[in-house]
Every structure is written in C-alpha cells, then in structure tokens.
Amino acid sequence: MDPNYKDKSIEVERTEVHKKSDSSAVASTFIKYAAYLIIFFGLLFFLVKYVFPMF
C-alpha cells in the first residue's frame, strides 16, 4: 500500500467530559474529616494531659 495514501472515511468521535461538583457532598466530606481531626486532637490532648504524667 502506498505510504502517502490517506483514508478519508475515518470519523473521529469526540466526547466532552463535564465535571459536576455537588456542593452538599463536598460540605459533608469536610464536616466528616473535621470531626476526625477534632477527635484525633482530643485524644492527643487527653494522652498528654492525663496519661503521660502518670509515667
């Protein structure tokens, strides 16, 4: 086959991806991880304030 031959019957399919942002899902995820951080730091505070002085 000739290397300069170009097939003109090829159709290119283009797809567009639209990113959807659900603000309620973002807010609930933020609240969840904020609660995790508060619990984590509360546990650290308890350990430093009450448990470590016992040793």
- Say whether pTM exceeds 0.85: no
The number of C-alpha atoms within 13 Å of 24 and in the hemisphere containing its C-beta is 0
pLDDT tens series, the chain, 55 aa: 566 666 667 788 888 888 777 889 999 999 999 999 999 999 999 999 999 898 8
Q: How far apart are CA 27 and CA 40, in angstroms?
A: 20
Residue 2 is predicted with a pLDDT of 60
* Overall size of the chain counted in residues: 55
